[in-house]
Each structure stands twice: as C-alpha cells, then as structure tokens.
Structure 1
Amino acid sequence: MPGERLSVVVTRRLPEAVETRLKELFDVELNESDTPMSRDALQAAMRRADVLVPTVSDHIDGAMLAGVGDRLKLIANYGAGVDHIDVATARQRGIHVSNTPGVLTDDTADMTLALILAVTRRIPEGLALMQTGAWTGWSPTALMGGRIAGRRLGILGMGRIGQAVARRAKAFGMQIHYHNRRRLHKGIEEELEATWWESLDQMVSRMDVISVNCPHTPSTFHLMNARRLKLMKPSAVIVNTSRGEVIDENALTRMLRAGDIAGAGLDVFEHGHEVNPRLRELPNVVLLPHMGSATEEGRAEMGEKVIINIKTFDDGHRPPDLVVPSML
C-alpha cells in the first residue's frame, strides 16, 4: 500500500546508530539477543520480511530460498562478501542482493600487515611470555624473527584490498608481486612497483610471504590446496584476511606441524568459528576471530551502505551496490 513502510528483519545486532536510523526509516525487527539464527528461524524471517539484512554468519542457500514465498524482495547483506548467499537462485526468484563494498578496504589491509608482522616478528610468543610471567629478561638470541624489508610478498587477489595491502607493504620495503584473474593497468603496476605472475604456482614457489586477498567463489575454493601449499618455501609464511575456504585448512595444519611452512596468520577459517584445534597448539600460527573489519568507523560505514541500498530500493530504483552473478 502507498505510504506503508518496508518490513526489514536484521539478523544480528548492528552498531546502535545504524539500528536507530533503520528504525526511523522502516518497520524493523531486530535480533536483540545477537544469537545467530537457526536455519528455520532465518527462513521464517524471510517469509515475513520485505527486506532481510543478514551477515556472514547467515548461510542462505538455494533450498532455503525455495521456501520463502513471494514477499522477500531484497537481501541487503551487511558485509562485502556474499559467498554465504546463493545469489543466482535469489535472482531467479526475483530477489535482489546488495552488499557493502569498499568501506573495509583500509581496515582489512591494516589487519593483513598486522598479521604479517605478528607472524614474522613472533609477537604472540613474546606476549605469552609477558602474560604468564615467564620472561626472565632480555637475551641476544631470544625470540628472533626476521625483518620484512626486502622480502617478496605475493598477493593473491589484487582488487581494492590487495592494492591497499601492496601500498602498505611497499612502505615497509617489501617487494610486491601478485596473481590476479586479470593483469592490472600498467599505471597501477608502476605505482605499486608490482610484478604480475600469470602462473600462481610459479609465484607461490618464489615468495617469502603469501597474502590471500581474493573472494571465495567456486573457482577459488581451496585455491591454496595441498599441492600448491607444498610449493611454498619452508621459510615462507601465509596470511589470510579474506575467506577461510580459499585455503585447505587441514593441509595447511599438517604442513605447519611438520615445519614445511614457517608460519601462518589467519583471521578467517574454512569452517567459520569452528577452528581446527591443532592450529591452536602451534606457536608459529597467529589466530584472530575475524577482526579484519572490526573498527567502529568501518562497521558504521557498512551500516550506512545497507541503509542506502534499502532506501534506494524502496524508492523504486536499483540499489547502488546490487550484486549480480557475473560479478562473482
């Protein structure tokens, strides 16, 4: 009916300012407990809403979409990655999908460099000594890591975040290399002093640090599989701030335990929050709880994009951050 407000269901708690603005504009149902919805609860929410605002913790597959009825018209994802949503099926059912690209570029790139430094300089090991009271004083040979200046950084996925990582790493004196579906414009390569590798295998085998910055798609699932991980130098480290599914986590764990790879810094995991327990035991691994986007500024900007996408859709226009299968 004309003038009737859109019904919007938000699956997790968002920053207070974002929730307040959503309530001002729409008929909003919030998840006050912030507990991830079960599959049945999520499907029920989609049946009674015009718009769903999910997060990466909500897995929306084709079978779920098949049973939501005809009311749902927009899935306004709170996050840039949409690999947890069956976008193709949603489109077939007339449901638009939007995301929040661009606002987390700097935050994620900062975290990537933090992980590189944490692994190569053994920061968590030093922190553990201080927290347990086991430190007995300075020693010339204690906790020696390696400087990152001069090391070869291989960036897997040279989009916005990959390029932001390159700029930061270049400032630290690292040599920038990358593998991407398409080679960057010559001007960008020159600015970043970046070397493109058409062969991922050849790049992986020659790098000191690998940074995973590509999205998770069917073509990137286990892109860093056991065979490719074995190509890495024993002195090399790998960091991942993108999606856990890009790396074969079991194979990585085996190689780290065997000393075939020097270390890893992981902010994302193949099975969500279910982290391989053997990874927790390794001193050469830094594990973080998906903190790449965890800044007040970034989360607020994500919310602003969600609101703009919903408002634009409500006004009868194409959401500015509409996701289409060809983008994936």
Structure 2
Amino acid sequence: MTRRVAVVYGGFSNERDVSVKSGINIAKSLERLGVEVLPFDLKRDTVADLLDVKTDLFFLALHGRFGEDGTIQGMLELAGLPYTGSDSRTSAICFDKEITYRLVDRSVELPVWKRVESDRDVEGWEIFPCVIKPVREGSSIGIHICDDQSILEDRTRELLVAYDSLLLEEYIAGREMTISIIDSKDGPVVLPILEIKPKKRFYDYEAKYIAGLTDFVVPAPVEESVQKSIIEKSVAIYKLLGCRDLSRIDGILNEDTFYFLEVNTIPGMTDLSDLPMSARAMGMTFEDVVGGVVEVAEKRNRR
C-alpha cells in the first residue's frame, strides 16, 4: 500500500465541520494501517499550498461546495496529482442535482420536479407536500418541506437570497434508504442497504450529525426482489455517472418503488455516517474501507 497519504479535509463550504470529523477519522485509520499521514486542513489561504505537498496520494475528505463539486479534483488533475474519489467531471455532475436527474431519468424512478430560478417559477405548483432545495448543496442544507403554496413561496424567496437555482419536487412519503458502494479489484461492491429512520420529519442536517435524532436499520428489512432491484439500479447509476472508489446513493422506498434522490461522491466518514455503518454490517472495519479506497486509487494511478 502507498506509504504516504495526504488527507485533505475542512474546506470552506457549509459542511466544513463535518469534513473535519471525516478527515480526522480517516487520518487515524490510515495511521493504524502503518501509513504516514499528512493532514491538510484546506482553507482559502492554503489552497495553493496543497500543490506543494509531497505525497503519494491525496485522500479527499472534503464535503460540499469547492470540495465535492469537482473544483479541487480539477486542480489536482491539472497538476497531475493522484487523488481518491470520482474525477472532476463526475464530481461536478453528481453535485448538481438537476444535471444528475436529467442523466439518470431513464434508469430509475424520480419525483416530479422542476428547476426554479425565481419566485415566479413556483406559481401554479399543485403537488403538496413538496420539497424545495438548492440545486448544488449537500448534507440536506437548505432543504424545506412545504405543505402549501404560501410556505413554498416564502421558502423559495429565502433560498434565492443564497442560491441562484433551486429544485422543486414532489415529496415522496416512504422509507429513506441509502446504498453505499465501494470499488474493489473485482468491481463495485454494494454494502448492505441502510434504512434511515429520523425522529424529525426528514433526515435533515441535525438528524444526520446529532446522536440520538435518528435510528438506523442495517441490513434494511426489504423483500429480496425489491432489494435486488434497488441494488441493480444503484450500480447502474454508479456506472452511468462514472463514480469511482466510493459513493453513496440515497432514495425513498415507497411501497415497492425506489425513488432516486441523489449521489454523494465523497460520503461522510464520521462516527455517525452511513457508509461506515453499512460496512460494519458487512463485517468490514473502518480500516478495511479506507485501506481499500487507497489500494484501488493506487492501482488506478499506476496505469
């Protein structure tokens, strides 16, 4: 295995605090594997310094904008430096919920949706409850469930102050499912499906990162035929979008229909994160996951 790895975390998105936790966990895990770790807390005034780090591989633990959206990936590609995770093209696509929806439209069921750029775009919307959310954001930041037109208009105006484009879609009631996929030498490996049971109305930022606000069931109790369908669709999306190393696919199971919601190309690696939880259900340790990602990335970069 690669002997020196720079773990890049932090960043300057709304998910900085989560990224720091992910990065620290990954760094500690790599150290337990005997790897020399170079922690790198990415900030606006240290971006250029990243290119001067002497390392065999950059392990990206950045979440949100400027970290998961292809920005850093593109910079490293231009410099010819190896890193973990999806490339800049796939990262940019998956971070943009609208582009992702358009590309996977024929591969999986989607909520009824439309792009919103002004408060006029929500006039005449007839499906309630509905969801309004930023097109390019992570960790459920900025997501609102709206039960009527008045609430929808208010939330839309609020969000348009911070974001130039939003996604409006029907609210799908059902069971929240997440499917984690990691690469191996034999191809993508699907970890046990995780069912998320938030004690709030939906799996928002607090429910994701505050212990006790969400219950998790893994493997999710799903009929074998439905489970097979979810796995097949998730792998198809993973391959279609060009994901690599590790990703997480989220959706809602309504009766026997799986509605796709989004792809996370740099899943959280905190103590409460979904992918490590699914890995444990498969008998994998945190070191197995992190070490496997490094090995796959190392093999790719030797080609």
Q: What range describes the TM-score normalised by the shorter chain of this pair?
A: 0.3 to 0.5
Structure of higher RCO (CA pairs closer than 8 Å, 6+ residues apart): 2
Q: Over alpha carbons, which structure has the higher Rg?
A: 1
The structure that is strand-richer by fraction is 2
Question: TM-score, normalization: structure 1?
Answer: 0.35
